[in-house]
Chain A
Amino acid sequence: MSTHSTVYIAGLGIISAIGNNVAEHLDAFKNERAGMAGITIIDTIHKGKLPVAEVKLSNEQLISLTGLTEHNSRTALLSLAAAREAVADAAIPGLDELRVGLVSANTVGGMDRSEDFFVEFIADNSKGKLKNVYDHECGSITEIVADKLGITDFITTISTACSSSANAIFYGARLIKNDIADVVIAGGADSLTKFTLNGFNTLMILDEGFCKPFDENRKGLNLGEGAGYIVLVSDKVAETLSTPPYCTLSGYNNSNDAFHQTASSPDGTGSYMAMQGALKMSGLKPSDINYINLHGTGTPNNDSAEGTAVKRVFDPHYPPMSSTKSFTGHTLGASGGIEAVFSALAIRHKIIYPNLRFQTRMNELPFAPVTRYLTGKPVKHVMSNSFGFGGNCTSLIFSEV
């Protein structure tokens, strides 16, 4: 079996509260335009109370954009919109002749439609449209998207909470490195649901205002929704591209905190091991990293644990860093994919994203995030962190070609 040492990123696709494609995201960052607002689309008792970062398209608009049907989950609609943009962006010559995989992550599956079903069903067990529960499983979302994109060679779904799509990305890279696939569309999607909104509300980690990641006075996260995919290709495929690839995936690591169901260990053991492991694989030193896209949810626990781990890895030379969740909210299973797209764009366009609403440095940390949109400085290596419930911690490193 032959192996490929380098995995390139050839295409990007994204949809979130700040835009429906890559160009709209770049514009939102440049203009420091955040996506969170009062609830307008999702039907919930928290309307008017909790802010969320909704994709600004209704299900009807997403259906006409994607060509899916009205019983498909919003998760599938978002997933297809972004995955299709990524495939078009990569513009791989002779794609039909290559072994193509889809590794897609999500955490809610078709829960939004199941919630519609449940209301009627609970009132009368003979009622409720079964079509609405058909795509309940996380894997169904991937299958719908693979079907629409004509992908049949390799399809799988990863669901490991908030690190889901970061794990999907390095799983895709491993498929290419081991010569199982030539091209892998990897990332993830999640839509807002009552299930997640109520669950996070129960954990008392939602901010009733707009989130303030890495701020001393942070009060919690804002939930978001969206999808982000990158197209990974082997060195052989990269040589055939008409435009140069965005970057390479030079390092990755998944480590577990083994501490608590929903909280990180105070010293960020899992995050520390993930960052160290990714650096080791890439052969880079901490001082080589030009930008960290933090997990930075805005909860007291995450930012404190992640900050402590960043300090252990990078002290005393801290690269610029920020949490783009201050724009997109926390998109859960989509966040690793969305932030991988941001990492690749940071390298391509030499930009560093601002951490919005930051005011006060955390007492226990000797560093603060970047607060202004920066451009023009070389961005050669980007670290992207995604840390999930269950202690599931993943760091990815993207490098200039």
Chain B
Amino acid sequence: MITNRYITVSCKIATGVVHKDMKSVFANPQTSLPDFLLSVYQYFAFSYPKFYKMDNLSKLGWLASEVLLKDAGLKFDPAQVAVVLANANSSLDNDLKYVKTIAEGASPSVFVYTLPNIVIGEICIRNNFKGEHAFFIQDKFDENFIFQQVNYLLDQQLASACICGWVDVLGDNYKASLFLVEDKQADNAVVFSTENMAKIFNSIN
């Protein structure tokens, strides 16, 4: 397929390291997930009190989107930015926590995170995004599927830019890998392709 679409920026958070455009920008390995997420928040000096209310899945996805968009200079109408995410474990990490609260009185604040697409809501609320969005549950990262979905949105002019990728948490296992896909070139941009998504998703460093 001939397109002029680029991954203008990528962000990956896994195994205690935050990567931006495949370069390590922060590392704090050997910490528990909640401590690690808080350390990322503090290191980048984000200021968003709602962060503290989020479940781990939303915290992870939200942090990845903040790092992704930090210097992106997104010039699009927020109503035209789409978000397409996927993961393997839905909101199970938080669902299990919620089940434990039922015995001593189910917690409304935990309950409201028992859906995986809430992470998309948190990213959209933060950035005023009002474009199309979808959350898919799949066994593993399927770059072909994401490629197809994002191209559909952009081909049909349902969006001008799209944040896509993977945000998954279950217990101590977690991984986020987000891509900002736009029609324009940029300094560190790579062509939006299944190969480039897989390369970034699977990179070790």
B108-A261 in contact (CB<8A): no
Residue B128 interfacial (CB < 8 Å): yes
User: In the assembly, what is the distance between CA of A390 and CA of B117, in Å?
Assistant: 11
How would residues 95 to 121 of chain B score, 1 for a CB under 8 Å from any chain A CB and 0 otherwise?
A: 000000000001110011101001001
Q: Which of B11-67 contact A (CB under 8 A)?
A: none
B124 proximity list for chain A (CB < 8 A): 258
Q: How many angstroms between the C-alpha atoms of A348 and B113 in the bound complex?
A: 44
Contact assessment for A202 and B108 in the assembled complex, using a CB-CB cutoff below 8 Å: yes
- Verify if A262 is at the interface (C-beta below 8 Å from B): yes
Q: Does A203 contact B (CB under 8 A)?
A: yes
Residues in chain A near residue B107, CB distance under 8 A: 202
Bound-complex Cα distance A199 to B111 (A): 8
- The reply to whether A258 and B111 contact each other, CB–CB distance below 8 Å, is no
A259 touches B111 (CB 8 A): no
- Let me know if A261 and B130 touch, CB within 8 A: no
The 15 listed contacts between A and B (C-beta, < 8 Å) are A199-B111, A202-B107, A202-B108, A203-B108, A203-B111, A256-B130, A258-B124, A258-B130, A259-B125, A261-B112, A261-B113, A261-B115, A261-B121, A262-B112, A390-B121
A202 and B112 alpha carbons, distance in the complex (Å): 10
In whole angstroms, what is the CA distance A260 to B107 when docked? 16
With A256-B130, A258-B128, A258-B130 as contacts: A202 and B121 at CB distance below 8 Å: no
How many angstroms from the CA of A261 to the CA of B55 in the assembled complex? 13
Chain B residues within an 8 Å CB radius of A201: 106
Q: How far is the CB of B71 from chain A (nearest CB, A)?
A: 24
Q: Does A204 contact B (CB under 8 A)?
A: yes
Closest to A262 in B: B112
| Nearest B residue (CB) for A257 | B125
Residues of A within 8 A of B (CB): 199, 201-204, 256, 258-262, 390
- Give the complex CA separation of A390 and B113 in angstroms: 12
Closest partner residue, chain A, to B107 (CB atom): A202
Cβ-neighbour of B111 out of A202, A256, A260, A390 (below 8 A): A202
Across the interface, do B125 and A202 meet the contact criterion of CB distance under 8 Å? no
Residues of A within 8 A of B125 (CB): 258-259
Contacts of A260 in B (CB 8 A): 112
Chain B residues with CB below 8 A from A256, complex form = 130
Indicate with 1 or 0, residue by residue over B174-202, a CB within 8 angstroms of chain A CB atoms.
Answer: 00000000000000000000000000000
Alpha-carbon distance A362/B39, docked complex (angstroms): 44
Chain B count of residues within 8 A CB distance of the other chain: 13
Smallest CB separation, A45 vs chain B (Å): 12
Q: Which of A202, A258, A390 contacts B106 (CB 8 A)?
A: A202
The chain A residue sitting closest to B106, CB to CB, is A202
Task: Quote the shortest CB–CB distance from A206 to chain B (angstroms).
Answer: 12
CB nearest neighbor in A for B101:
A202
**In the complex, what distance in Å separates the CA atom of A202 from the CA atom of B124?**
26
Of B115, B125, B128, the most chain A CB neighbours within 10 A belong to B125
Closest B residue by C-beta to A204: B108
What are the 8 closest A-B residue pairs judged by CB atoms, nearest first? A261-B112, A202-B106, A202-B111, A203-B108, A258-B125, A262-B112, A204-B108, A261-B118
Q: How far is the CB of A330 from chain B (nearest CB, A)?
A: 17
Which residues of B sit under 8 angstroms from A204, Cβ to Cβ? Answer: 108
CB of A257, distance to nearest CB on chain B (Å): 9
A261 to B130, CA, bound (A): 15
**B113 cross-chain contacts in A, Cβ below 8 A:** 261
Chain A residue nearest in CB terms to B108: A203
How far is B112's CA from A199's CA once the two chains are assembled, in angstroms? 10
Q: Which residues of chain B are near A262, meaning CB under 8 Å?
A: 108, 112
| Minimum CB distance partner of B117 in chain A | A390
**Distance, CA A202 to CA B105, complexed state (A):** 8
Which chain A residue lies CB-closest to B111? A202
CA distance A256 to B128 in the complex (A): 11
**Quick one: which of B128-174 are within 8 Å of A by CB?**
128, 130
Name B128's closest neighbour in chain A (CB-CB): A258
Most B C-beta atoms less than 10 A away, residue of A203, A256, A260, A261: A261
Q: How far is the CA of A204 from the CA of B125 in the complex (A)?
A: 24
Residues of B within 8 A of A199 (CB): 111
A258 to chain B minimum Cβ distance, whole angstroms, is: 5
Name the residue of chain B whose CB is nearest to the CB of A256. Answer: B130
Residues of A within 8 A of B130 (CB): 256, 258
CB proximity of B141 to chain A, nearest CB, Å = 26
A351–B59 Cα distance when bound, in Å, is 51
Residues of A within 8 A of B106 (CB): 201-202
Q: How far is the CA of A201 from the CA of B108 in the complex (A)?
A: 9
Known: A201-B106, A259-B125, A261-B121. 12 other contacts (CB 8 A): A199-B111, A202-B106, A202-B107, A202-B108, A202-B111, A203-B108, A203-B112, A258-B124, A258-B130, A261-B112, A261-B113, A261-B115
Bound CA span A333–B130, Å: 23
CA distance A202 to B106 in the complex (A): 6
Nearest A residue (CB) for B50: A260
Expressed in whole angstroms, the minimum distance between the Cβ of B56 and any Cβ of chain A is: 16
Per the bound structure, the CA–CA distance linking A386 and B175 in Å amounts to 38
Instruction: Name the distance in Å between A39's Cβ and chain B's nearest Cβ.
Output: 20
Among residues of A, the one whose C-beta sits closest to the C-beta of B122 is A261
B112: A residues at CB distance < 8 A: 203, 260-262
Assembled-state Cα–Cα distance A202/B130 (Å): 29
B100 to chain A, nearest CB (A): 13
Of the candidates A199, A258, A260, the one having the most CB atoms from chain B within 10 angstroms of its own CB is A258
Q: Which residue of B is nearest A258, CB measured?
A: B125
